Amino acid sequence: MKGLILLFRFMTRLPIGFDPKFDSDELGKGMRFFPVVGMVIGLVLFAAFWLLGYIIYSPMVMAVLLVIIEVVLTGGLHLDGLADTFDGIFSYRSKQKMLDIMKDSRLGTNGGLVLILYFFLKVALLVEASNSSPVIMPIMLLLSPVIARLNSVVNCGSAPYARATGMGKTFVDHTDGLAVLIATIITAIFVGGAAYLFVIPYEILIVIPVVMILGYLFAKLMTRKIGGITGDTLGAVVEISEIIAMLGMYILAR
């Protein structure tokens, strides 16, 4: 429980009343429950969708506002990792130079481009989902944060940490096959429960293994490029997986 609370405090900007003493081991062990963080974020976005629906009638405005709300909920933590990862990987330098670039707080051209493309694609998917069916956008908002965070657990369990030290190292050190299995079961139960509750075809569960396979391949690519994963690549895989999950749900819903 302490690890989960620490995970909420570290990975979100949600107001958590209880402030436990920081413990890196407990934080690392909490990684197996990372999809639970996604559940809370998804539920907040889901609620925001229905509340805003009473005053916002434009799908475009709705999509932009919901994307902004999600950024506020996470503090842009994973987006920072996404930008840093693309700045480093697409610099085509040595492994060490890539790691140095990723650690640099400045935003480069590749990082800026990927953020622009990310937001365009995310808003477009939400708008198109809204035009396709009134229930698809809220389902995307509810489920994609959960599936995306499962992939972060997959990465921690399938690749070494690229640096000798770093905050992300505690997650890698405490994530094994059992942790990945627990995270997968939590995600599958949540997605399956949502499918049952909202009368959605259970084919939506196919999105989970597809995203996991792509996440595993991403971890192997990072291992080949920089010798493993880092806190930045963990943030990147969350954001990339969320887009893939949304795209998968959009395709299945059509």
- Judge whether 123 and 184 are in contact, CB under 8 Å: no
What's the pLDDT score for residue 134?
A: 80
pLDDT at 184: 97
> CB neighbours (10 Å) of residue 189?
11
Model confidence pLDDT, tens digit, residues 207-244: 999 999 999 999 999 999 999 999 999 999 999 999 99
Question: What's the pLDDT score for residue 120?
Answer: 96
pLDDT tens digit string along 93-111? 889 999 999 988 889 899 9
Check the CA dihedral 76-82-85-91 and report its sign: negative
Backbone phi, psi, residue 185, to 5°: -65, -45
Q: What is the pLDDT of residue 151?
A: 95
Of 78, 52, 40, 56, nearest to 190 (Cα)? 40
**Distance, CA of 49 to CA of 245 (rounded, Å):** 18
Q: Contact, 148 vs 238, CB < 8 A?
A: yes
Query: Is the pLDDT confidence value at 198 over 90?
Result: no
Among 238, 249, 187, CA closest to 75: 238
Average pLDDT of the chain, as a whole number: 92
* pTM of the model as a whole: 0.93
Of all residues in the chain, the percent with pLDDT exceeding 70 is 98
Domain definitions of the chain by residue range:
27-253
**Does the pLDDT of residue 16 top 80, yes or no?**
no
